[in-house]
Amino acid sequence: MDATTAPHHIPPEMPQYGETYHVFELMQNMLEQLLIHQPKDPIPFMIKHLQQDNDNVPKIVILGPPASGKTTIVSLWMKKTESFGFLMTQDVVGRSISSRAFKVFYHHEVSEKLSSALLVSLIQERLKEEDCVRRGWILDGIPETREQALMIQTLGITPRHVIVLSAPDTVLIERNLGKRIDPQTREIYHTTFDWPSESEIQNRLIVPGDISEMETARKLLEYHRNIIRILPAYLKILKVINADQPCVDVFYQALTYVQTSHRSNAPFTPRVLLCGPVGSGKSLQAALLAQKYSLVNVHCGQLLKEAVADESKFGELIKPYFQKEMAVPDSIIMKVLSHRLSQQDSIQKGWVLHGFPRDVDQAHMLNSLGFQPNRVFFLNVPLDSVIERLTLRRIDPVTGERYHLMYKPPPTVEIQARLLQNPRDAEEQVRLKTELFYRSCSELEGLYAHAIALNADQDPYTVFEHIESGIVNPLPKKVP
């Protein structure tokens, strides 16, 4: 037991997360329960299931070889449970249940003396109790065999997350050999990594009876034989974590995994909003998303220009403002946007919107018309990088070719001599627009509580990978 298994180190506070489940997941979960339990009268069963309101409670299995730190992770979870907003079964802190069941749950060494049928029946009995149903549960080191895994599944005990701790056998044997137990408190210490400072405790520590190198090697061999047959039962919900690192790091990785929800099978139409200052790459990211996922690319500024060019009824309203180089009123912009987002392709395929809203009032207007985005990304770029990206842009008035003096310089001196800069790319204009965006940014972030902030000052395809991940995976919900 090195730093990865020391039970006395408590990590700092962590953010709290939960997950709002879609109606699809609710119905899917209810159907699963009906298939598992097959009640004679399904209506009262479904009503009781809905009243329990436990579709989002943690259901976790932690597996790993001897001395990998499973019980330490559980212990940290128990001590931090209120901070996380997760509530686990409280057996490790002395909940009043039968001593036999207590040992089965948290001292799996005893289970070697029990038949799999008896062990699984005890698990089933315990998980039916109110606190497990209402708060969730963790199974520490169970199932130990494929037989147990299949029996547990047959009874409808289905974890949402399975964590497997892994470390080299040499490390695990070294940890085990250094274990010492306080016979009075049953606290576990280690001669190298977690030695008590009080001499009184030091003097009464004893060596556990089953930690010899031969005994540990035997248990490791048995574990390796069994684990390869257990894992196929949990492949889609499995996370392997390297346990040969500090326990706090192992704990954070386990917690992060449990905070995530697995990708839903529910039909999903992306409605993506990209926010960011000028030069943050919104147009490029929108084009990449539209290309890969067949989304409708809705660029607010471009929509207004197209309306004027098409001489539509909206164009007639917009044209005077363009001629006078004045800002188009929000009411007109909303009419144009509403018309585009209400078209059949936007409804069926989904959309990616950029260039609007630029402040919280515009965002409220968008929401009031029923066009709430379900994915929001803030593309953050430092002012210096924005200036570098925009103020060095040039255009060739002869060919219309666009250049950048740093990233795409003109091929000849003759071309460079005739290049022009768009007045909008002047440094004063860029500074003003960037400062205006970041002035409204905090209010927008407050409105879009689930938004993902990204560092857009990097390779655009790296940024796209982050955006793509945020679209295809469920988002965590911060709990106040």
Q: Which range, 29-33, 81-85, 269-273, is most confident?
A: 269-273
Which pLDDT band holds residue 92 (cuts at 50, 70, 90)?
A: very low
Contact predicate 446/275, CB 8 Å: no
pTM, two decimal places: 0.50
CA nearest neighbour of 131 among 175, 88, 180, 85: 88
Burial zone of 84 (CB within 10 Å; 0-12 exposed, 13-18 middle, 19+ buried): buried
CB atoms within 10 A of CB 282: 22
- Mean local confidence (pLDDT), 203-222: 85
Q: Phi then psi for 178, rounded to 5 degrees?
A: -90, 0
pLDDT averaged over the chain? 80
What local confidence, expressed as pLDDT, does residue 192 receive?
77
Contact predicate 354/298, CB 8 Å: yes
Distance from C-alpha of 217 to C-alpha of 54, rounded to nearest angstrom: 41
Contact predicate 447/363, CB 8 Å: yes
**Which of the pair, 41 or 86, is modelled with greater confidence?**
41
Q: At 278, list the tokens.
A: 């000028």
Inform me whether the pLDDT recorded for 161 exceeds 50: yes
- Mean local confidence (pLDDT), 34-54: 72
Inform me whether the pLDDT recorded for 12 exceeds 80: no
What local confidence, expressed as pLDDT, does residue 456 receive?
92
Three-state SS letters, 211-264: CCHHHHHHHHHHHHHHHHHHHHHHHHHEEEEECCCCHHHHHHHHHHHHHCCCCC
What local confidence, expressed as pLDDT, does residue 261 receive?
67
The three-state secondary structure class of 167 is: coil
Distance from C-alpha of 364 to C-alpha of 367, rounded to nearest angstrom: 5
Inform me whether the pLDDT recorded for 203 exceeds 80: yes
